[in-house]
């Protein structure tokens, strides 16, 4: 039984990725921008990887570029979209629960004199489409909305927001990191970003896709790599491994979603039944949330202590802000939905999760929480 339950941060390396990576170390080491034989071979491999990733995203190969990470992809998407439309305005619209990398780019834009409009969310972390549409003023250069929330699993109304953006001629950036390889890609995006380690590819590969006809300009110094979208050469063996993992994950996505959804439903129903004073987050409707993610908070328990004790029991989970849990900073997502920011745990099931690991977690959690409450002197409150 594997106790790794933090797949929303990084899915374990898919076997297809491992096989492709080892083969690519021999066949894909040359510079694909050169003209000699080994370089031509590398170019063929890179083009094939781009085509495979594009097919999974519902994009054209020439719309897809590879970046060093999902973080870089988000920064380039937001800052590049804003830079290209400075004549249209300086306003950026985001939701309050975007990934920290998107919000960091927003803060940089604001510090440079730009305007950032933050759309509040409801208690499930879903944005209200009408409120988002109202934020799209005539001087809006770019809008950004995640496909699904990385901390509580809420699937956002991307198609509806995309329609509102289209009506106002505002390009929409969609951070699709949590759905690529798991759920269908929501329609209507103009710029899309993703991270390979979320679907079982290696760390070190992000994806930036820009629709043909969408105005975008790199905020980085001029560079010839990746059609000028991402500076520096790609790590070809990593890209090939990422593409192989995405193909494999996409082929199994429907079955995995159904199976993992059943496991997460058991967690959602059993955790508050077995542990008193627990709040489980996200929509009640299973169709409105990610199938593999369950987030909850335990009253009177420190999140870092709970995470440490679960780790000792063999279960690796996330606590605090999932974007920087090593610092154990409060979650801006939980703050945005008015939830308890301490004692929170995010369980995200990897593709190989089974009944045994879920039952083991459910058995381990109650005595750990009870012990921590006893130590804090709050049992029975």
Instruction: Answer yes or no: are the C-beta atoms of 369 and 298 closer than 8 Å.
Output: yes
Strand partners, 278: 298
3-state helix, strand, coil in the chain (%, to 5): 45, 15, 40
Phi, psi of 290 (to 5 degrees): -65, 140
Q: Which of 323, 349, 353, 372 is catalytic?
A: 323
Instruction: Answer yes or no: are the C-beta atoms of 151 and 334 closer than 8 Å.
Output: yes
| Nearest in space to 122 (alpha carbons), one of 320, 284, 336, 280 | 336
Instruction: Answer yes or no: are the C-beta atoms of 260 and 353 closer than 8 Å.
Output: yes
Buried b (16+ CB within 10 A) or exposed e, 159-191: ebbbbbbeeeebbbbbbbbbbbbbbebbebbbb
Cα angle: 330, vertex 336, 340; to 5 degrees: 50
Residue in the block written with tokens 């790599």? 225
Residue 287 is given by DSSP the state G
Q: Are strands 140-146 and 91-95 parallel, antiparallel or unpaired?
A: parallel
SS3 255: helix
DSSP per position, 353-381:
--HHHHHHHHHHHHHHHHHHHHHHT-TT-
List C-alpha distances in Å: 165 to 86, 93, 144, 254, 280. 17, 10, 10, 29, 32
Q: Is 323 a catalytic residue?
A: yes
| Total Cβ atoms within 10 A of residue 113 | 7
Q: Which residues are catalytic?
A: 323
């Amino acid at each position: 039984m594997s106790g790794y339950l933090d797949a929303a941060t990084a899915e374990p390396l898919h076997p297809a990725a491992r096989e492709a990576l080892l083969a690519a170390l021999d066949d894909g080491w040359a510079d694909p921008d050169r003209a000699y034989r080994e370089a031509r071979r590398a170019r063929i491999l890179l083009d094939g990887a781009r085509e495979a990733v594009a097919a999974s995203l519902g994009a054209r190969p020439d719309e897809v570029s590879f970046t060093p990470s999902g973080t870089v992809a988000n920064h380039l998407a937001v800052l590049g979209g804003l830079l290209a439309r400075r004549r249209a305005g300086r306003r950026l619209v985001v939701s309050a629960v975007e990934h920290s990398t998107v919000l960091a780019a927003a803060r940089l834009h604001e510090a440079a004199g730009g305007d950032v409009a933050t759309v509040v969310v409801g208690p499930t972390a879903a944005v209200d489409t009408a409120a988002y549409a109202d934020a799209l003023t005539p001087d809006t250069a770019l809008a950004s909305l995640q496909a699904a929330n990385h901390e509580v699993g809420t699937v956002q109304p991307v198609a509806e927001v995309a329609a509102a953006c289209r009506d106002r001629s505002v390009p929409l950036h969609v951070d699709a990191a949590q759905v690529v390889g798991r759920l269908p890609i929501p329609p209507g995006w103009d710029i899309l970003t993703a991270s390979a380690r979320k679907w079982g590819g290696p760390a070190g590969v992000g994806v930036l896709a820009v629709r043909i006809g969408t105005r975008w300009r790199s905020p980085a110094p001029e560079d010839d790599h990746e059609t000028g979208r991402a500076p520096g050469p790609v790590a070809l063996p990593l890209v090939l491994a990422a593409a192989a993992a995405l193909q494999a994950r996409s082929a199994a996505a429907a079955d995995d979603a159904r199976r993992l959804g059943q496991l997460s439903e058991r967690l959602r129903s059993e955790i508050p039944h077995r542990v008193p004073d627990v709040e489980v987050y996200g929509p009640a409707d299973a169709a409105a949330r990610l199938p593999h993610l369950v987030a909850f908070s335990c009253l009177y328990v420190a999140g870092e202590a709970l995470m440490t004790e679960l780790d000792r029991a063999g279960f690796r989970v996330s606590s605090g802000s999932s974007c920087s849990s090593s610092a154990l900073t409060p979650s801006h997502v939980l703050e945005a939905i008015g939830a308890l920011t301490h004692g929170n745990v995010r369980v995200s099931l990897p593709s190989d999760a089974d009944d045994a690991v879920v039952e083991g977690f459910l058995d381990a959690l109650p005595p750990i929480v009870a012990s921590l409450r006893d130590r804090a002197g709050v049992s029975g409150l």
